[in-house]
Structure 1
């Protein structure tokens, strides 16, 4: 019992829930304390967007659960500083939904960072390389993120990006819609081929990365409209205005936003293009056995919040 007489909730006899961090289409995220290892973690209860529908279809519920666990186990095998670390899975017959135990990333999201001010082309290029490294590690493990956007990129205190929320993206169906027609994820960051039902391309994540870079430097999304359906239509067909603030990053961004996925630069070429753009300190992993450069003044915020998976 706590001082207020309320019993604290403990998951699996080990993880004490301390408070909510956020909620999204596929679950609730909590800040929690690992009572065995005496450290704070992020705990995500992975639940479907329409529990009533799955309750009426036990086979679909089992498939969903198995997919959650398979993706979590695959992510747990990825050892990359730009991918959020999964520590543990809680899954038992008496628990309604699986829980995923993750590292608690101390820092702010890119979305919060952009609310303070835009990135320079060099800062965005370095950020892009960090996110690209995380995507390449995931792709090598057979995982496509499918929801790369500023809210799903966390920035450690030294500025290095961490890509989160693979679970929401991995649980999407082949059309990106639930059985009730509800869109999972953010329409403005979905690649056009995915809207048309062409799944399974690593290039789709690179489109989303290109849109993230566009927004980070230009300060506005070129295809966001007043409704999700209007946004999807714009992603499919409307002309993308050329960046005006992106300098040498502009041609790279526009190459990523080619509606033909086969025409987009592949990951290795993209990394080379981003590396050629002059950087400023503050983003990207430090070189081995070195200390990461401090954040430039424009990137300093205090105090930074802590997150595991951000709300989506």
Structure 2
């Protein structure tokens, strides 16, 4: 990054940083001006949560950089209306972390939308189906998101959701814990298997999607507690209270929010169920899960009681 006239911060001699849009342990996102194409973009420098990683673990820092670049390049090949478009990757070479230049989505986030009140089940189903479509496109090229939550779903001005921040997937997998043992990010939307230390798979993203839809219709998070440790314990051990406002989404949430990843329906089944809700067919018949599989305590059982036939 260089300093232009009047102290302007310019990345790669081309992207002028204007306004900080957000950030956290994974880096900072800015609105920037592309001085070549004369358009506004979002630009993010992906950094590990431990600033000293390059000093105490140079090999880890090198592998992290390579993984971020690999996933960013894979995502750049995805042309999907619900996946944020990557325009450019700034790679300063060994010893640096990349900047990822993306489209600027101007409609706020799903978190902003939910701050104004809950969604109806059908509205949530529409949003969920489009986010699911984005996840399926990423899963098809071997990328799991690992951080599906309302803040990472941006909204275009026409309301269409766009999934972003895939770069965190690389950081999360490469450095699950910081040097001090602190968890990266919040555990609110993480699947139990990921909280317990398993890397998970595409089905773990489906848990996160279901929890996001639960929050969207209920207007509160059922497992969020006063501290990170308490929330982690709740995700691992406590049942999710049955939703009271989910209507036709109830059965889908029931089927996805189970602790055994293998018991969750496939992405294709989830898409079909969401389509039925959107088309007004209502909820499919109540689901009874298979007997719990052997595994760690709390796994293989539904996260909240399953409806039974009358």
What is the TM-score with the length of structure 1 in the denominator? 0.85
Please report how far the alpha carbon of residue 85 of structure 1 lies from its aligned counterpart in structure 2 after TM superposition: 0.7
1:85-96 equivalences in 2 (<5 Å): 85-93=85-93, 96=96
**Residue 80 of structure 1: how far off its partner (Å):** 0.6
Structure 1 residues 1-312: aligned runs within 5 Å: 6-93=6-93, 96-173=96-173, 176-278=176-278
Q: Could you say what the CA RMSD is over the residues aligned between the two structures, in angstroms?
A: 1.7
Do the aligned residues in 2 keep the contact of 1:123 with 1:279 (CA within 8 Å)? Answer: no
Q: Secondary structure at the match of 1:203?
A: helix
Task: Measure how far apart 1:174 and its partner are.
Answer: 6.8
Matches of 1:70 and 1:94, distance apart in 2: 14
The whole-number CA distance in structure 2 between the counterparts of 1:162 and 1:174 is 25
Q: Displacement, 1:57?
A: 2.1
Deviations 1:29-81 (A, max 9, x none): 11111111111111111111111133222211111111110111011111111
SS of 1:88's equivalent in the other structure is strand
**Structure 2 unaligned runs (5+)?**
281-310
Deviation at residue 95 of structure 1 after TM alignment:
7.4
- In structure 1, the gaps of 5 or more residues are 281-312
The SS at the match of 1:18 is strand
Instruction: Tell me, yes or no, if the aligned pair for 1:25 and 1:49 is still in contact at 8 Å.
Output: yes
Q: Is the 8 A contact 2:48 2:175 kept in 1?
A: no
Query: Match of 1:125, SS?
Result: helix
CA distance change for structure 1 residues 32 and 107 in 2, over 3 Å: closer, same or farther?
Answer: same
SS of structure 1 residue aligned to 2:52: helix
SS in 1 for 2:48: coil
Q: Secondary structure at the match of 1:136?
A: helix
- Residue 49 of structure 2 aligns to a residue in which SS? coil
Pairs aligned (count):
276
Structure-2 separation of matches of 1:165 and 1:244:
31
Q: What SS is found at the alignment partner of 2:84?
A: coil
Report the alpha carbon displacement of residue 240 of structure 1 after superposing the two structures with TM: 0.9
In structure 2, distance between residues paired with 1:14 and 1:105: 20
